[in-house]
């Protein structure tokens, strides 16, 4: 069976210990068959050329500062996925030379949601970097090249946020501003109506610069969408916001 591909809105590192958030992620994972492995494409791993993180267990990356001390002692130790890493190298060999960074552990864009989605840490995981953050068409094409992994049960999972402007965040968790809700809704319509050209040209939307002053939290969606096929149904397992404007929408293709 061709495994679905997806995008998770990972939000704040504090979601590692947020029970209600974890429950929604877990419910999503429970609705899916068990993947053979997970290929994570996180907003927090930007590296050119395309680079693969560790394929054997190494310490997590706590790539954040100023948060409660318990977050820095969380452990999540899934098996590595060397076979998937080798497949990625083969699939991308025509377009790019893939690098290896065996020292690099999972960053919080990966381990925070997976901690809840697959709490037994029994699914092999490997990360692939964002090589062309500011070139949406290349990121979509990257997903297309990775799509055959789905036939082997690999969960291609982008991780970011569909609206991500920390300067505009309301840390008191006030109401969602209109500009954030409008962009989030527009993206949902683009996805459900298979408007791939508009998805790749998302920066032409007048609200895009406000919703994404930098692009790294959006483009993992392009990889997931690129790996989808035209026959895949699009659904949204989670649709909400945190800190006012931070979209936590999750997307499933297939």
Encoding tokens for residue 252?
């499933």
Whether omega before 49 lies within 30 degrees of 0, making that bond cis, reads yes
For position 230, what pLDDT does the model report?
A: 83
Confidence label for 25 from pLDDT (cuts 50, 70 and 90): very high
pLDDT(5) > 90: yes
Mean local confidence (pLDDT), 28-46: 98
Percent of all residues in the chain with a pLDDT value above 70, rounded to a whole number: 100
Work out the number of other CB atoms within 10 angstroms of the CB of residue 22: 18
* Partners of 234 in beta bridges: 253
Give the whole-number percent of the chain exceeding pLDDT 90.
96
- What are the tokens at 109? 């864009």
Q: How confident is the model at residue 52 (pLDDT cuts 50, 70, 90)?
A: very high
Q: pLDDT grade, residue 153 (50/70/90)?
A: very high
- Helix, strand, or coil here: 24? helix
Q: Show the beta-strand stretches assigned E in 20-115.
A: 37-42, 51-52, 99-100
pLDDT confidence of residue 229 = 87
End-to-end CA distance of the chain: 11
pLDDT tens column, 169-221: 999 889 999 999 999 999 999 999 999 999 999 999 999 999 999 999 999 99
Q: What local confidence, expressed as pLDDT, does residue 32 receive? A: 98
Structure tokens at 192: 């459900």
Q: For residues 73-89, give the mean pLDDT.
A: 98
Cα torsion for 10, 11, 16, 21, to the nearest 10°? Answer: -80
- Position 14 scores a pLDDT of 96
Q: What is the pLDDT of residue 62?
A: 97
85's enclosing H/E stretch is: helix 82-92
Query: What is the rounded distance in angstroms from the CA atom of residue 133 to the CA atom of residue 203?
Result: 13
Q: Which structural domains are found in the chain, ordered by start?
A: 5-253 (3.40.830.10)
Mean pLDDT calculated for residue range 76-91 = 98
CB under 8 Å to 216, separation ≥6 — which residues?
43, 44, 46, 130, 133, 160
Count Cβ atoms within 10 A of the Cβ of residue 91 and give its class: 0-12 exposed, 13-18 middle, 19 or more buried: middle
Q: How much is the mean pLDDT over the chain?
A: 97
pLDDT at 159: 98
Count of beta carbons in the 10 Å neighbourhood of residue 19: 8
pLDDT confidence band for 231 (50 / 70 / 90) = confident
């Amino acid at each position: 069976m061709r495994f679905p591909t997806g995008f998770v809105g990972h939000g704040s590192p504090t979601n590692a210990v947020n029970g209600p958030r974890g429950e929604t992620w877990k419910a999503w994972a429970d609705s899916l068959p068990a993947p053979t492995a997970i290929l994570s494409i996180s907003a927090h791993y930007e590296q050119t050329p395309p680079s693969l993180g560790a394929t054997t267990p190494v310490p997590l990356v706590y790539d954040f500062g100023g948060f409660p001390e318990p977050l820095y002692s969380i452990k999540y130790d899934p098996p590595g996925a060397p076979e998937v890493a080798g497949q990625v190298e083969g699939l991308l060999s025509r377009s790019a030379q893939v690098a290896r960074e065996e020292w690099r552990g999972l960053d919080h864009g990966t381990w925070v949601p997976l901690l809840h989605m697959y709490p037994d840490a029994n699914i092999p995981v490997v990360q692939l970097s964002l090589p062309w953050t500011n070139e949406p068409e290349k990121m979509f094409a990257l997903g297309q090249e990775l799509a055959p992994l789905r036939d082997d049960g690999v969960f291609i999972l982008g991780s970011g946020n569909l609206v991500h402007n920390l300067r505009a965040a309301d840390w008191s968790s006030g109401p969602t501003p209109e500009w954030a809700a409008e962009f989030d809704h527009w993206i949902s319509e683009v996805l459900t109506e298979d408007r791939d050209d508009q998805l790749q040209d998302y920066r032409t939307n007048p609200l895009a610069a406000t919703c994404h002053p930098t692009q790294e939290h959006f483009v993992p969606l392009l990889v997931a969408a690129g790996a989808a096929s035209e026959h895949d149904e699009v659904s949204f397992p989670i649709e909400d916001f945190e800190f006012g404007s931070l979209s936590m929408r999750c997307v499933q293709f297939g």
